[in-house]
Amino acid sequence: MGLIPLAAVVLALSPDSDPVSAEPPLMHTPPPAWLEQFRTDVEQVTDHSRMVGFAAAIIENGEVVATFTHGETALGSGEPITSDTLFRAASVTKTFTGTLLAALEAGGMVDLDEPAPEELIRLNGARQPTWRELVSHQTGLPPNAYDNLIEAGRDAATVRERLAEVELICPVGECYTYQNVAFAAVEHLVEDATGLTYEAAVEQYLLGPLGLETAGFGAEHLEASGNWARPHRGRLRRLGNANTDYDTLPAAAGLSVSLNDMIAWAQAHIAAEGGLPQDVRDRAFTPQTRSARETRNLRRLRRIDDTAYGLGWRIYEWNDRTLIAHGGALAGYGSHIVMEPETGFAFVALWNADFGLPRMLWPTAMDLRTGDGPGDFVDLTLARMR
């Protein structure tokens, strides 16, 4: 059987197709009652002295029911955050890589179970990792192997070569250990399959067709937008600039997005009609490996029974519900996306400060909307911070 055209797998690929709107649609779903309490929690986060700028949205039944924008693009600038302000997506970029690979696989354009070539990446193990193992963090490398060399300004290819020196903590394919350098090797698979650079492939196959109108890669894209949130580092909120060494790993952490882009991205994955084909969603969201380290990290939430990693996406078992998620943190930025595809729920958020408190908003929303708990995660975290 010949290759299935990718246009039949992704929502649409031609310039004449109708994209998923990046603007909040007309609401048919009334705002849920729990939003009143949730707004109070959002205010506690945004009013904190360590915050600078923040943008978030709640989606129910596939429709936007609330958006929140607060603060400034740069501390003291007076330039307000809007729904079109660009932030670094950080590791939420991995969800774009995973979904793109799921679409390419569904279209017969890649075989994720083929071993990655040794000239691209070689590990100190008995066999080569497959592309699927690279994109689901099953290399056996210690967590975040050689991120420090990327942060020291070394180029990605040189750093990737040095992975062959690293002692594995488990055989390839037998445990979950989160990576950036190894993960980004899948850029080459995308480029070979599409004939485009990784960035151009994401633009052509995802950003354009799905209506992510302001998203793009690299510092130049941020600065050219004219509406971008500057990073703020540490407790003192020191102002940073557009550049980051992780732009050398675009598939792992190189994308920038606005709130409207994040809304469109979530809707593409949870829409009951339209959006990404179910086959692509299923491939991206299928657990590839259990992520015990993530389960331990989320123990404080008291609702997470188990976690796994799919193709660039995290999978959480929240009591009897399945959530699809990812977060990111990068040099003065934070990001998060959490979705419950079965109900059309999503929470998306972006901020420009080194601050973890906004990550307590999604479990708060889950508690309040499901009745699973009191939704006191922000209060408890603030109490521990005092």
Write out the two tokens for 55: 């943008």
Q: What is the CA radius of gyration of the chain?
A: 20
CA pair distance 206, 275, nearest whole angstrom = 11
Q: What CA–CA distances, in Å, run from 362 to 41, 321, 324, 352?
A: 11, 14, 12, 18
Split at pLDDT 50, 70, 90, the class of 248 is very high
The answer to whether residues 280 and 261 touch, using CB atoms and an 8 Å cutoff, is no
Q: Calculate the CA dihedral of residues 90, 91, 93, 94 and round it to 10 degrees.
A: 170
C-alpha torsion sign, points 79, 356, 262, 36: negative
Tens-digit pLDDT profile for residues 147-160: 999 999 999 999 99
The answer to whether residues 255 and 215 touch, using CB atoms and an 8 Å cutoff, is yes
% of the chain with per-residue pLDDT over 90? 91
Write out the two tokens for 307: 């976690």
- Alpha-helical runs (H) found in 124-170: 131-135, 147-151, 156-162
Split at pLDDT 50, 70, 90, the class of 72 is very high
Q: Amino acid identity, residue 231?
A: P
Cα 239 → chain centroid: 24
Spatial CA neighbour of 291 closest among 183, 178, 135 = 178
- Residue whose tokens read 């779903």: 29
Residue 15 has pLDDT above 50, yes or no: no
The answer to whether residues 175 and 139 touch, using CB atoms and an 8 Å cutoff, is no
- Residue whose tokens read 């990605």: 156
- Paired with 257 in beta bridges are 87
CA pair distance 100, 204, nearest whole angstrom = 10
pTM of the model: 0.93
Least reliable range by pLDDT among 25-39, 205-219, 249-263, 319-333? 25-39
**pLDDT of the residue at 30:** 76
Residue 124 has pLDDT above 60, yes or no: yes
The answer to whether residues 126 and 172 touch, using CB atoms and an 8 Å cutoff, is yes
Residue 6 has pLDDT above 70, yes or no: no
Which strand (E) or helix (H) includes residue 164?
none
- Residue whose tokens read 């055989």: 171
CA pair distance 82, 70, nearest whole angstrom = 8
Q: What CA–CA distances, in Å, run from 25 to 66, 68, 206?
A: 11, 16, 20
Q: In CATH, what number does 32-385 get?
A: 3.40.710.10
Residue 24 has pLDDT above 60, yes or no: no
Q: Amino acid identity, residue 37?
A: Q
Domain positions in the chain? 32-385
- Other CB atoms within a 10 A radius of the CB of residue 70 amount to 18
